Structure 1
Amino acid sequence: LKEQIEACHARGIRVPIYTTVQWDHFTARQHPEWICTDELGRIVGTPPFEAGFYREMNVNSPYVEEFLKPHVREIMATLPTDGIFFDIVRVIPSTDPYTQDRMRAAGLDPANQDHRARFALDSLNAFKRDMSAFVWSIDPEVSVFFNAGHVGTRHRAVIDAYSHWELETLPSGGWGYLHFPVSARYARTLGIDVLGMTGKFHTSWGDFHSFKNLAALQFEVFQMLAMNAKCMVGDQLPPRGRIEPHVYDLIGKVYAEVEQKEPWCHGARPLCDIAVYTPEEFTIPGASHNLPDAIKGATRMLEEGAHQFDIVDSASDLTPYRVVILPDAIPVDAMLAAKLDAYLAQGGKLIATFESGLNPDKTGFALDGLGVAIAGEGPRDAAGNLARGCVYPQANYVEYILPDAAIGHGLPPTEHAMYIRGMDVTARPGSEVLADIVPSYFDRTWEHFCSHRHTPSAGQPGNPAIVRSGNAIYFSSPIFTTYQKVAPLWCKRLLLNALDLLLPEPLVRHSGPSTIRATINEQPAQQRQVVHLLHYIPERRGEFFDVIEDVIPLYNVAVSVRVPGSVTSVATVPQGAPLPFEMHNGRIEFVVPVIHGHQMIEVIRD
């Protein structure tokens, strides 16, 4: 390792040192009493006679003081250390004696599952702060990162233990192509550097002698640039310790393009109209990088509509945003209600869907500004569970939306199936109903059913489906979860129409297909905006994950950008080809001759 570090340093390359925390095969064999245990007392992780090293070490055991800290001290004493990358640092509830003792000392009940989950998070955060302080006491200049495969809302509370964020996101390794934009759009709001991390593998870590398709690596890296992240491509050395030249030829092709694009990325910050709250904040923390369907569906819809947005939590400042979206499952307590009420009072716009806006007990809406009230809890299924929000394979509890002309622009004036049952609401006086719910003849049960799936519309409008109250629009259906599950175009069209009503002049519009990913950044020092247009299409060619093989160019794409003040020039970059442009009502309009995978356009302001 020392030779590798010296070789990199001779070429001006930083070399943070990797070490694992909760996966430690050597220590697990030496000290099995330091392994986490589940509610039945079994070790958490790889069984004894199964290949693998995935036994979860317990940070509440003597492992940290007796092994991990001496190990880190030795690394920093014997090797030139630019940083420490601690891998596998996750929320793992445990029932082992060390954890039980600490829980009792904290006044918690080790037999209570919720207490164990809360303590697992709190003790992990305490471990991070303690370990960072230990590392920085040795060398305050090194970088420190604790990796769990995801950076999300639970990281805000412990940001002081990190020097930066690293977003491990291998689309073919279980993360998928949605994980990076969701994670990056949140992480970039927290005020420290963001580094994107993909891999060179066709699948995931440990996939030796494989190669990611060039187009896929281009997209994954260029998307990092578009979303204000630095770039990293992961690899693993085989035991002989020699890099595979063909792998670095592949990475080099992409990094050569990055080098050309970098001047338009240094110091860039995103421009955003919209803040989207993530339901992740209100779920039990864990190690998984599986995200709530609602935030994935929201990200899909907004990206496909070319809208510019951040993902936020209840601690975020809403002042910079013109519209706030609460997707499907955002409970609103008194503090958040006051914040959102103040935002609306200051002229902000709000979209809420399904159970978003309800108080934490779900007994009523905490936001009067939504202009709706609960009409009833809705039907229950044969097991006694509320049907609303549940996914049934045959859409047993379907209902239909009949939109008016404004919210239904671009849709036929008829019923549209909402496959997941929504809320039963009434409109408060003064609210405007933009769409009605049309019930089916009956819900599908063993006693009465129709054809293969859900029952048709009964044709008579019922409760409101979409309600506008001043600057707020409420959807009774979980449109974001529905879009993530089955992607009805009409769900996206309704959402984009609602945004047209509340945000008639978005930052970016384009004439291209919904497969374009458009972002806009600002470089204040250069007095310019930089538009990124990406066009790569992931396909499920194999059963297990999406791949990108081909770059499909687009030609003559018209782009319109909202700009403050006047503009002196527009050009493609890094090519430097000037583009003719026109100014109309605070917008600059131009045509991009070709998008071959990734095209940046600089807009120079006066």
Structure 2
Amino acid sequence: WICTDELGRIVGTPPFEAGFYREMNVNSPYVEEFLKPHVREIMATLPTDGIFFDIVRVIPSTDPYTQDRMRAAGLDPANQDHRARFALDSLNAFKRDMSAFVWSIDPEVSVFFNAGHVGTRHRAVIDAYSHWELETLPSGGWGYLHFPVSARYARTLGIDVLGMTGKFHTSWGDFHSFKNLAALQFEVFQMLAMNAKCMVGDQLPPRGRIEPHVYDLIGKVYAEVEQKEPWCHGARPLCDIAVYTPEEFTIPGASHNLPDAIKGATRMLEEGAHQFDIVDSASDLTPYRVVILPDAIPVDAMLAAKLDAYLAQGGKLIATFESGLNPDKTGFALDGLGVAIAGEGPRDAAGNLARGCVYPQANYVEYILPDAAIGHGLPPTEHAMYIRGMDVTARPGSEVLADIVPSYFDRTWEHFCSHRHTPSAGQPGNPAIVRSGNAIYFSSPIFTTYQKVAPLWCKRLLLNALDLLLPEPLVRHSGPSTIRATINEQPAQQRQVVHLLHYIPERRGEFFDVIEDVIPLYNVAVSVRVPGSVTSVATVPQGAPLPFEMHNGRIEFVVPVIHGHQMIEVIRD
């Protein structure tokens, strides 16, 4: 009944090690002979309002039951790709079957299958879920980026979203520990800001008594949630931008280690106060003014037609690095990007393409020399791109906004310079940033680069590109980039609700980030794009009115203080 790997070994905890992490095989008799009778007994003997199936992951297996089913489906059990795809298909079939079983007993019971992440592979099996639960304990391996990435995608799928953090200082099983109050505030209030319901996880010790001090901590935060709830019920996000996630194009698995490109994109856009959803190739692009393809989004014929239609209807597009290439990477599938492949670029000593690879000393560095528009706020000189990009040419009619300036030579054992990469040779080469109508293309993997080493110039170039394509974003503010700003709409109340969060995670210990202190901000100017006229602006739940002015379709006001989390309601006519 337990999954086995390609060497026939049990997947998970070895027999003589502590732990229970052995992966059950959904292709075995385990489901019919144990799990279903067990669930039926629970629902018959205990008051049950929901079933939470935990650690339900995509695990390729080589056990005899799975091999038999693969052969019956015309697949080769010895083929790794076949095993991975069959594992996902088997798991989806198991989920549908289990949900149907539970709902045949009680159709009102909620059902969720947890794997530590909700992502693009869940769209295909949404009918097996009553809602999403986003397990994301920042100190437990998920980090502080996982929740915003997963929430911005999950909320587009049409069913309720529940955020799940924990009371622990570290992670599950950390008894007698306490998350810092400021950290718990941020994690819970961020759920409200991103349209999710709230859960704080705990574990009951064997003696069966909850720890009162833990619930004093949780109660302090939930008391604030109770005050804020009226501005969260029925709220829906307002977004300018749709960001495609490369997760859709990776081999399916259970890991919450997200692609660097989507993490870097989330960092940049949140730091720039932009409002965005994360989407996949099945998403409707109609609501969005700008679409971003970060670093690694292959474009087949169907997606190309969708994006071409979006551009034809006035939509704006930003693509970076290999995004926009056909799945074989032989050429760009989108003529609207205004670029063509000039060559594959250099290969390293092992024969691998250097483009997109991270080398510790940036052996294949190149430099961007931006013009005044795309380089606003940057010095008019070369800026290092630590990860080698695409070699492209600009098509006729396109506008080159920045050039690549090569180094004197790539760093190898035969020729190198100092401790790291070689300096600029000073002579512009291929285009680095190209504009073609409503599309802007970056040859460098700027989102992955930002996630790895966070060069400010990468973020500035991206935000400048957005200024060119989206001159009137939904939200602007005068505060630091550590503010997290979101805007939601409550149609029934005819109001918009701006959330401003200011909590700063710090790497005080070696293993994970913590939040201890709340650093207040004062007199932060905010500008919001609004349709029609506005009758009042006020901080909530405090109810303090704020003076405001209207200019060219935008409302402008000053928030006197942001102490961790401040909400502002904008009442429209």
1:48, distance to aligned residue in structure 2 (A): 1.0
Q: Corresponding residue for 2:83?
A: 116
Alpha-carbon displacement from aligned partner over 1:243-274 (angstroms, at most 9, x marks no partner)? 00000000000000000000000000000000
Q: Corresponding residue for 2:167?
A: 200
Alpha-carbon displacement from aligned partner over 1:375-430 (angstroms, at most 9, x marks no partner)? 00000000000000000000000000000000000000000000000000000000
Paired with 1:584 and 1:328, the residues of 2 have a C-alpha distance of 37
| Match among 253, 258, 265 for residue 232 of structure 2 | 265
Q: Corresponding residue for 2:69?
A: 102
Give 3-state SS (helix, strand or coil) of 1:296's partner: helix
Alpha-carbon displacement from aligned partner over 1:318-340 (angstroms, at most 9, x marks no partner)? 00000000000000000000000
Give 3-state SS (helix, strand or coil) of 2:292's partner: strand
Question: Structure 1 residue runs of 4+, over 4 Å off?
Answer: none
Paired with 2:255 and 2:424, the residues of 1 have a C-alpha distance of 39
Paired with 1:346 and 1:480, the residues of 2 have a C-alpha distance of 27
CA RMSD of aligned residues (A): 0.2
Alpha-carbon displacement from aligned partner over 1:119-173 (angstroms, at most 9, x marks no partner)? 0000000000000000000000000000000000000000000000000000000
Give 3-state SS (helix, strand or coil) of 2:37's partner: helix
Q: Does 1:226 align with 2:213?
A: no
Alpha-carbon displacement from aligned partner over 1:26-49 (angstroms, at most 9, x marks no partner)? xxxxxxxx1100000001011111
Instruction: Return the TM-score normalized by structure 1.
Output: 0.94
Alpha-carbon displacement from aligned partner over 1:549-576 (angstroms, at most 9, x marks no partner)? 0000000000000000000000000000
Paired with 2:469 and 2:254, the residues of 1 have a C-alpha distance of 37
Q: Corresponding residue for 2:37?
A: 70
1:183, distance to aligned residue in structure 2 (A): 0.1
Alpha-carbon displacement from aligned partner over 1:10-35 (angstroms, at most 9, x marks no partner)? xxxxxxxxxxxxxxxxxxxxxxxx11
Give 3-state SS (helix, strand or coil) of 1:362's partner: coil
Paired with 1:76 and 1:250, the residues of 2 have a C-alpha distance of 32
Give 3-state SS (helix, strand or coil) of 1:559's partner: strand
Give 3-state SS (helix, strand or coil) of 1:70's partner: helix
Paired with 2:168 and 2:252, the residues of 1 have a C-alpha distance of 29
Alpha-carbon displacement from aligned partner over 1:93-141 (angstroms, at most 9, x marks no partner)? 0000000000001110000000000000000000000000000000000
Give 3-state SS (helix, strand or coil) of 2:295's partner: coil
Alpha-carbon displacement from aligned partner over 1:293-339 (angstroms, at most 9, x marks no partner)? 00000000000000000000000000000000000000000000000
Paired with 2:13 and 2:181, the residues of 1 have a C-alpha distance of 35
| Match among 282, 288, 296 for residue 321 of structure 1 | 288
Q: Corresponding residue for 1:160?
A: 127
Alpha-carbon displacement from aligned partner over 1:211-244 (angstroms, at most 9, x marks no partner)? 0000000000000000000000000000011000
1:288, distance to aligned residue in structure 2 (A): 0.6
Paired with 2:459 and 2:88, the residues of 1 have a C-alpha distance of 36
Give 3-state SS (helix, strand or coil) of 1:275's partner: strand
Deviates more, 1:42-51 or 1:539-548: 42-51
Alpha-carbon displacement from aligned partner over 1:449-479 (angstroms, at most 9, x marks no partner)? 0000000000000000000000000000000
Paired with 1:131 and 1:243, the residues of 2 have a C-alpha distance of 31
Paired with 1:287 and 1:276, the residues of 2 have a C-alpha distance of 22
Paired with 1:158 and 1:52, the residues of 2 have a C-alpha distance of 30
Q: Corresponding residue for 2:351?
A: 384
Give 3-state SS (helix, strand or coil) of 2:214's partner: helix
Paired with 2:2 and 2:291, the residues of 1 have a C-alpha distance of 44
Alpha-carbon displacement from aligned partner over 1:49-84 (angstroms, at most 9, x marks no partner)? 111111111000000000000000000000111010
1:192, distance to aligned residue in structure 2 (A): 0.1
Paired with 2:547 and 2:130, the residues of 1 have a C-alpha distance of 43
Paired with 1:221 and 1:156, the residues of 2 have a C-alpha distance of 25
| Match among 113, 126, 144 for residue 177 of structure 1 | 144
Alpha-carbon displacement from aligned partner over 1:340-379 (angstroms, at most 9, x marks no partner)? 0000000000000000000000000000000000000000
Paired with 1:172 and 1:590, the residues of 2 have a C-alpha distance of 36
Alpha-carbon displacement from aligned partner over 1:183-220 (angstroms, at most 9, x marks no partner)? 00000000000000000000000000000000000000
Give 3-state SS (helix, strand or coil) of 1:558's partner: strand
Give 3-state SS (helix, strand or coil) of 1:75's partner: helix
1:175, distance to aligned residue in structure 2 (A): 0.1
Give 3-state SS (helix, strand or coil) of 2:367's partner: strand
Paired with 1:553 and 1:55, the residues of 2 have a C-alpha distance of 46
5+ residue gaps, structure 1? 1-33
Q: Does 1:45 align with 2:34?
A: no
Paired with 1:55 and 1:408, the residues of 2 have a C-alpha distance of 53
Paired with 1:408 and 1:478, the residues of 2 have a C-alpha distance of 17
Paired with 2:20 and 2:128, the residues of 1 have a C-alpha distance of 27
1:287, distance to aligned residue in structure 2 (A): 1.1
Q: Corresponding residue for 1:15?
A: none
Q: Does 1:368 align with 2:374?
A: no
Paired with 2:314 and 2:208, the residues of 1 have a C-alpha distance of 60
5+ residue gaps, structure 2? none
1:515, distance to aligned residue in structure 2 (A): 0.1
Paired with 2:210 and 2:443, the residues of 1 have a C-alpha distance of 55
Paired with 2:331 and 2:251, the residues of 1 have a C-alpha distance of 23
Paired with 1:574 and 1:104, the residues of 2 have a C-alpha distance of 61
Alpha-carbon displacement from aligned partner over 1:493-528 (angstroms, at most 9, x marks no partner)? 000000000000000000000000000000000000
Matches within 5 A, 1:464-483: 464-483=431-450
Q: Does 1:404 align with 2:371?
A: yes
Give 3-state SS (helix, strand or coil) of 1:35's partner: coil
Paired with 1:416 and 1:167, the residues of 2 have a C-alpha distance of 38
Paired with 2:461 and 2:393, the residues of 1 have a C-alpha distance of 20
Paired with 1:197 and 1:205, the residues of 2 have a C-alpha distance of 12
Q: Corresponding residue for 1:242?
A: 209
Paired with 1:55 and 1:356, the residues of 2 have a C-alpha distance of 38
Identity of counterpart residues, as a percentage?
Answer: 100
Give 3-state SS (helix, strand or coil) of 2:524's partner: strand
Paired with 2:48 and 2:174, the residues of 1 have a C-alpha distance of 28
Give 3-state SS (helix, strand or coil) of 2:192's partner: helix
Paired with 1:148 and 1:585, the residues of 2 have a C-alpha distance of 47
Give 3-state SS (helix, strand or coil) of 2:368's partner: strand
Paired with 2:110 and 2:15, the residues of 1 have a C-alpha distance of 36
Q: Corresponding residue for 2:246?
A: 279
